Amino acid sequence: MSGSCRSLMHSVAITSIALLYGQGGARADEKLFIYNFSDYFAEDTISNFAKRTGVDARVDFFDSLEVLETRLLAGGSGFDVTFPSATVGERLIQSGALKPIDASGLKNYKNLDKDLLKLVAEHDPGNQYLVPYMWLTTGIAYNPRLVEERVGGAPTNSLDMFFKPELAQKFQDCGIGIVDAPNEVVPIALNYLGLDPYSTKQEDLDKAKDLLLKLRPYIRHMQSGQLVADMASGQLCLAMMWSGDAGVAAARAEEANNGIAVGYSIPKEGTIISFDTMAVPSDAPDPEQALAFIDYVLEPKTVADISNHVFYANANAAATPLVDEAIRTDPNVYPPAEVRSKLFVDKSLPPRQARERTRVWTAFRAGN
Amino acid sequence: MMQSKPNLGRHALVLVPYGWLAVFFLMPFLLVLAISLSSVRLGMPPYEPLYAWQGSLLSIRLNLENFVFVLGENTYLLAYLTSLKVAAISTVLMLAIAYPLAYGIASCSPGSRSFLIFLVIVPFWSSMLIRVYAWMSILRNDGLLNSLLLHLGVISEPLRIMNTETAIYIGIVYTYLPFMVLPIYANLSASDRTLIEAARDLGCSRMAAFWRVTFPLSLRGVAAGCALVFIPVIGEFVVPDLLGGADTQMIGRTIWIEFFNNRDWPVASAVTVLLLVILVIPIVLFQTRLSRTSTA
């Protein structure tokens, strides 16, 4: 090795050691790793927190809850705050993947809606692990013009749009999409049939499968992450999707000024109500910063800004007056009591029973 | 004494690929095999440990139920068959495109050869994911291809390619084509041109010289190329997931569903082990035999 080469190698080694050391030092006390759905904060949520606390907060995104759950179960994910749905949270609690959260240390915890806390307690007895974030329904998003062109006076507030083949086939050419979420769509189908939405009886599941298979030929795709863009650009005219995503699609279409409108309705037959929550993994590197961040999100101003951006109803009672009027008075986002009474939570099933449900879904996806 | 030294070096050299295989193939495979013999539980990790110490008693529990379950289910068989079909058809398509391409490049002057090979490799400079996303914007109903064809008046209604099996073939052929071109090109460019001259001197027509001399001699390259694309395409996940519709369920997706949706790591592992045993091992054996016979 020549002299100059040796000195070069030397400086490379020193620089990399310095870099490693520098990273290790900062990691311990100044960084916060957040794991959330994409487009699920306001644009300035993270930067404001960073400005206020000086913490280098970083967000990584998952595109399905299944990915979040599997990463946390595998352990060593390195995240401090994650955003599981209450259903996923329930299993994570049972698996020992989450750390209990001491609510007395959170000065804004009192802002949370007491009724919603009770509903979340069905997943998390005593509200020990999951701090409610947003809540949403899985319903019907539609393009009013394209739907009206095909079926005058179509029942856009009814699941008949999907489950009556003579109706669904009319929308095949303009495109039907559906969220890739067996734990939501299978119970919705069971409930539509007047059966117990949580049934694991084979005969009930077979009926749900028949219902879904009749819809199958008219479905264009089941990519949850693609639904917002496709509804907003008119690639699809009808989708079974999450309330907030439908709101985002409507807003994007308006921004693009492409003459496309997106409506959303909660099906009159009843549907799934889900909660997204904040939770701290049991092996979080910095649980203290995690709690500081959760407390920050519980501030009415912070979470109201997020609702205004993502079009989901938040679980923060004190924040409601700060939410844009158009959102807070929208019965499909903040539904009135009689609509709410028809909503049911998405209950977690043990693995082998969940499999029976997923199998219905697999058959549905494959169309056989 | 003088002779044992290079021998030792040669042995060590042979050990390198075996060591590589042991670390990067055998060990991960054994881990997957171990999980496939376990059973699900709620916990971290979400499967039961295979062995337990009770005092000085070591108890090992091997659970074969996952294999029985996978073999008894139509869904998995169908997914295996779909993967086989997609892999076979796309391999044939790639061969049909890659062989003439490689042949063309090999018959160029050395200078233009390296430029053309460079062009084949250039797409690798950007992420595969980005390239597949680019295909999404090309194939969409209002995408580049449809707008162009509509504009030219070739079609009056947009073609629905996105989210169909056709889109999967386009994506896979595009992504894997260089892996087919390179081995065939390497083989053709190394072949001895004088053999063709000899064949022509002995009265073969151009076509006959190609089919009786060039093609049989290039079979090794063809076999290598086919294996290089066929095996990864069987397990391909990204392209069918992004470009394909929901009705083409390949084995990659099936494993994903077991792992993520059902949270059943043992069954996901059993599907993986069976994929290896049923599909990949026979293919590798066949390929080794083919390349041996063609050298002989």
Nearest by CB: A355 against B42, B142, B264: B264
Across the interface, do B260 and A64 touch by the CB < 8 Å criterion? yes
Nearest by CB: B249 against A350, A351, A365: A365
Q: How many CB atoms are closer than 10 A to CB A353?
A: 14
Q: How many CB atoms are closer than 10 A to CB A194?
A: 8
Residue ranges, comma separated, of all CATH 3.40.190.10 domains in chain A are 3-135+275-334, 137-273+345-366
Q: Which residues contact B238 (CB under 8 A, 6 or more apart)?
A: B128, B129, B132
> What are the structure tokens assigned to A122, written together?
């069905």
Q: How far apart are CA B170 and CA A29, in angstroms?
A: 49
- The angle that helices A300-310 and A45-53 make with each other, rounded to 10 degrees, is 150
| A207 shares contact with chain B (CB less than 8 Å) | no
Cα torsion angle, A164, A358, B129, B177, sign: negative
Q: Where are the alpha helices (DSSP H) in A144-220?
A: 144-150, 160-163, 165-168, 182-192, 202-215
> What are the structure tokens assigned to A243, written together?
């309330």
Q: How far apart are CA A353 and CA B171, in angstroms?
A: 36
Nearest by CB: B46 against A95, A182, A358: A95
> What are the structure tokens assigned to A123, written together?
């997943």
Substitution target in B31, B137, B262, B271 with the highest count of A β-carbons within 10 Å is B262
Substitution target in A361, A362, A365 with the highest count of B β-carbons within 10 Å is A362
Tens digit of pLDDT at every position of chain A (368 positions): 344 444 444 444 444 444 444 444 344 457 899 999 888 999 999 999 999 999 999 999 987 888 899 999 988 899 999 999 998 999 999 999 999 999 999 999 999 999 889 889 989 999 999 999 999 999 999 999 999 999 999 999 999 999 999 999 999 999 999 998 888 999 999 999 999 998 889 999 999 999 999 999 999 888 887 899 999 999 999 999 999 889 889 999 999 998 999 999 999 999 999 999 999 999 999 999 999 999 999 999 999 999 999 989 999 999 999 999 999 998 888 888 888 888 888 887 776 777 788 888 888 887 65
Q: How far apart are CA A143 and CA A166, in angstroms?
A: 19
| A3 shares contact with chain B (CB less than 8 Å) | no
Closest-CA residue of B relative to A355 is B262
Task: Assess contact for B275 and B80: CB atoms under 8 A.
Answer: yes
Question: What amino acid is encoded at B204 in this protein?
Answer: C
Write down all domains in chain B, each with its CATH number in brackets: 73-261 (1.10.3720.10)
Task: Assess contact for B223 and B290: CB atoms under 8 A.
Answer: yes
Contact list, A64 vs chain B (CB under 8 Å): 260
Q: How far apart are CA A37 and CA A35, in angstroms?
A: 7
Across the interface, do A367 and B246 touch by the CB < 8 Å criterion? yes
Contact list, A357 vs chain B (CB under 8 Å): none
Superfamily covering domain A3-135+275-334: Periplasmic binding protein-like II (3.40.190.10)
Tens digit of pLDDT at every position of chain B (296 positions): 445 556 777 788 888 888 998 999 899 999 999 999 999 888 888 898 888 888 888 888 899 999 998 998 888 888 999 999 999 999 999 999 999 999 999 988 888 999 999 999 998 899 988 999 999 889 988 889 999 999 998 888 888 888 889 999 999 999 999 999 999 999 999 888 888 889 889 988 888 988 988 899 999 899 899 989 998 999 899 899 888 876 788 999 889 888 888 888 999 999 999 988 887 777 778 777 776 765 54
Contact list, B158 vs chain A (CB under 8 Å): none
Q: Measure in Å the smallest separation between the Cα of A73 and chain B Cα atoms.
A: 5
| A354 shares contact with chain B (CB less than 8 Å) | yes
* Kind plus residue range of the DSSP H or E element containing B93: helix B74-106
pTM above 0.80, yes or no: no
Nearest by CB: B141 against A72, A75, A235: A235
Contact list, A72 vs chain B (CB under 8 Å): 44
> What are the structure tokens assigned to A263, written together?
């409506």
Across the interface, do A219 and B246 touch by the CB < 8 Å criterion? yes
Contact list, B45 vs chain A (CB under 8 Å): 73-75
> What are the structure tokens assigned to B33, written together?
């095999």
Across the interface, do B261 and A358 touch by the CB < 8 Å criterion? yes
Across the interface, do A95 and B140 touch by the CB < 8 Å criterion? no
Across the interface, do A94 and B42 touch by the CB < 8 Å criterion? yes
- Taking only residues 161 to 190 of chain A, the set having a beta carbon closer than 8 angstroms to any beta carbon of chain B reads 182
Substitution target in B141, B261, B264, B269 with the highest count of A β-carbons within 10 Å is B261
Contact list, B257 vs chain A (CB under 8 Å): 358, 362
Q: Where are the beta strands (DSSP E) in chain B?
A: 51-54, 57-60
Contact list, A219 vs chain B (CB under 8 Å): 246
User: Which residues sit opposite A136 in a β-bridge?
Assistant: A274
Q: How far is residue B253 CA from its own chain's centroid?
A: 15
Contact list, B252 vs chain A (CB under 8 Å): none
Task: Assess contact for B275 and A196: CB atoms under 8 A.
Answer: no
| A1 shares contact with chain B (CB less than 8 Å) | no
Nearest by CB: A70 against B247, B254, B263: B263
- The angle that helices A243-256 and A300-310 make with each other, rounded to 10 degrees, is 70
What's the confidence (pLDDT) of residue B25?
A: 87
Across the interface, do A362 and B78 touch by the CB < 8 Å criterion? no
> What are the structure tokens assigned to B185, written together?
């090109």
Q: Which residues contact B246 (CB under 8 A, 6 or more apart)?
A: A219, A221, A222, A365, A366, A367, B163
Closest-CA residue of B relative to A233 is B142
Reported ipTM: 0.71
Q: Measure in Å the smallest separation between the Cα of B137 and chain A Cα atoms.
A: 12
Closest-CA residue of A relative to B250 is A366
A171: nearest Cα among A232, A220, A125:
A220
The per-residue DSSP string of A338-365 comes to HHHTT-EE-----HHHHHHHHHHHHHHH
Q: How far apart are CA A90 and CA A347, in angstroms?
A: 9
Q: Measure in Å the smallest separation between the Cα of A352 and chain B Cα atoms.
A: 8
Across the interface, do A96 and B43 touch by the CB < 8 Å criterion? yes
CATH annotation of A137-273+345-366: 3.40.190.10
Across the interface, do A70 and B259 touch by the CB < 8 Å criterion? yes
Residue with tokens 């921004």: A255
Closest-CA residue of A relative to B255 is A362
Nearest by CB: B245 against A70, A75, A221: A221
Task: Assess contact for A56 and A79: CB atoms under 8 A.
Answer: no
A166: nearest Cα among A151, A148, A188:
A151
Q: In 3-state terms, what secondary structure has residue A238?
A: strand
